[in-house]
Amino acid sequence: MSTSDIRNGVQHPRERVWDRFLTEQDRAHVARRPRSGKGFGQRPALLLIDLYRSVYGDEPQPLLEAVDTWPSTCGLAAWDAIPHLQRLLAGARAAGIPVVHTTGMGDRPWFRGTELDPERAVNPAVRDRLRRRFDIIDEVAPIDGELVVRKANASGFLGTPLLGHLVDRGIDTVIVGGESTSGCVRASVVDGCGYRFHMIVVEACVFDRHEACHAINLFDMSQKYADVVSLDEALGYLDSVTEAKVESPKKAGATV
């Protein structure tokens, strides 16, 4: 993956979101032992993780204003990611690749009788929020043909049909967006790497409620489990997938 850009005709290392959190020793080690990653494969799918109401609330609000109403909020980081997520989702749909959405299981048995049980809530507004907390937001809502995986754990792979769905379609590359970077995104990326997929995390399309956790977990994934790429890199790859599908029938016809 490219880690540099060109400014004024000169190639410069691309600044990464985690750079300011690294120590001098961290930087020296990365410079001495850079990790190239696996790169993109041939057959991708898009995995959008937990883009549900609980992390957004009903309107854009700073984290510390939203948290009393929506305890799981990611504040403005969630809302700021929406335009990037929409571009990534549009690119995946245009390329005709599988799209998978994950969300939570609202009927988890261990919620019953607790403050997270909507039937226990006395306040109607609280009850309404609890019932809607795992609804995927309209801005990136699934369409017909896209799998929605309901999960009870951090990883999208654990205890769900996701792995079988990807294997059945011959997928070798999983492009990831969603939240939280340090939680469900990381857990899904680690599991996906363990299953030998090319894991691609689109930096602008993942977010967290804690800035430092977001940055350091991206760094850690980039060092061990995934390629962390820009949105432009991901969209360029999806364009190439689209072009390959268009060219493939022509090549097949030429050999008949």
Task: Identify the pLDDT of residue 94.
Answer: 96
Task: Identify the pLDDT of residue 256.
Answer: 27
User: d(Cα 114, Cα 238) in Å, to the nearest integer?
Assistant: 44
Cross-strand pairs, 147: 100
Task: Identify the pLDDT of residue 254.
Answer: 38
Q: How many residues does the chain have?
A: 256
What residue spans define the domains of the chain?
36-105+140-250
Exposed, middle or buried by CB within 10 Å (0-12, 13-18, 19+), for 89? Answer: buried
The mean pLDDT values, 10 residues at a time, for the chain of 256 residues are 46 78 96 89 98 96 95 96 98 98 73 50 71 94 97 96 98 98 98 98 98 98 97 97 74 38
Query: Coil, strand or helix: which one is 221?
Result: helix
Give how far the C-alpha of residue 185 lies from the chain's centroid of Cα atoms, to the nearest Å: 6
Task: Identify the pLDDT of residue 124.
Answer: 72
The CATH architecture of the domain made up of 36-105+140-250 is 3-Layer(aba) Sandwich (3.40)
Beta strands in the chain (DSSP E): 4-7, 10-13, 44-49, 99-104, 147-151, 173-179, 198-207, 227-229
- Nearest Cα to 49, choosing from 218, 230, 182, 167? 182
Active site residue 184: yes
List Cβ neighbours of 153 (8 Å cut-off, separation of 6 or more). Answer: 159, 187
Are the C-beta atoms of residues 205 and 81 closer than 8 Å to each other?
A: yes
Task: Identify the pLDDT of residue 180.
Answer: 97
- Selecting among 184, 193, 205, 213, the annotated active-site residue is 184
What is this structure's pTM?
0.87
> Dihedral of the CA atoms 225, 230, 232, 234 (nearest 10)?
10
Task: Identify the pLDDT of residue 242.
Answer: 82
Task: Identify the pLDDT of residue 1.
Answer: 47
